[in-house]
Amino acid sequence: MFPFFQLPLLCIQDVSDLWEIVELYNFSLLSKRAKRIAKRKKVNNSMVNLHFNSRSIAFMIGPCDVDFYLNFKQNRFIVDSKECVSLETDISPFLKALQHFLDVSNCRFEMVYFELISPLTDDQLIAIIDWMNGLKTAIEQIVIRYATWPMFELFMSRFRKSISELRPLHLDFKRDNIVLKRLNFEIKYTFSSNFCSWFHLDFLFSMDTEKITVYAINLCAEDLNKYIRSWQEGKTSRKVKQVQLRFSTQRDVKEVLKGCGGELMDPRTTKLSFRGISSSGYNYNYFVYGGIYIRGNDGRLAIVETDGQDYWSDNEGSHAERVQTYLKAQDIWNNENSPDVWNEHLFFIHIFQ
């Protein structure tokens, strides 16, 4: 066998720098000295996703395509072509192996997936959260695909690490009187969720992220009015640029914007280009036609529109159907004594910096 460890340290490091992550990881398992040699100082830009429920690491070759998996088996990670569920019941060996992998690879997690349901236990979830809170490694996005209410509440109350995006999905708890009133960690760019019966006005106040997308929300018109006026006064949501809300039932637009000094604009004559935000802070441009213009005390413009469409080209947002909707809304908006009510499910807010 070639006496690799007898080479000068610089020679060893020159050779190990040529290795792929899996080769480095396997080498690092040989001894403590091997681990010290294998540690990468430069941040590795590989796209890596972490799946806690299956206890696997996915190396991606695109947003949706997996190159290979590292599956946790017998206290270490094994290369595999598919995701395999670990049979281990103790979470500690997995977290120890995961920390070893991060120490060596110097990767960051693009996405971390959770399913906060059985067989995951509260004690396991607490151990995972505490480990994540202490991580130096960056986490871009957390996706919670399914959850029970007690586990989701536990995660949201205990987690503290700053992330770029949070996406709780499919959380239809089918329970009354369950709410979250405060966000306890930073979300830099985007929050996106559906089935948000648990979404409280105070939780919305506590968020200072750039984009908020929430569907099946139960806030009343008065609550949304309080949120918009709080933004106008500069009390909350100073970083917010986009808010997309879809309500469970329709809300009265005039009640939502009561006292905000809004001006309904004609989509045939008013058009502004807006720089939107997608996942993890990536930007894209589209046009906003018409809408209701309101101003913050700092002079910033917010446009509230209710059709929920992004328009990508000139004149796309001034078609006949859109104009008819505007003319009908105008009659109600400008007439304080109108017997008709302008009700909408969607309220999209675009804030120009």
Compute the distance between CA of residue 70 and CA of residue 49 in angstroms, rounded to an integer: 10
Compute the distance between CA of residue 117 and CA of residue 170 in angstroms, rounded to an integer: 12
The token pair at 347 is 């309220």
Handedness of CA 274, 278, 283, 285 (dihedral sign): negative
Query: Which among 231, 214, 210 is positioned nearest to 347, based on CA atoms?
Result: 214
- Tens-digit pLDDT profile for residues 104-128: 888 888 999 999 998 899 999 999 9
Is this prediction's pTM over 0.85? yes
| Confidence bin at 80 (pLDDT 50/70/90) | confident
User: In the chain, where are the structural domains located?
Assistant: 4-262+340-352
pLDDT of residue 177: 74
Query: Which among 114, 22, 109, 116 is positioned nearest to 69, based on CA atoms?
Result: 22
- Tens-digit pLDDT profile for residues 31-70: 888 787 777 656 567 789 999 989 999 988 877 788 889 9
Compute the distance between CA of residue 87 and CA of residue 211 in angstroms, rounded to an integer: 38
The answer to whether 293 and 263 have CB atoms below 8 angstroms apart is yes
Q: Considering only 146-155, 172-181, 247-256, which range has the smallest mean pLDDT?
A: 172-181
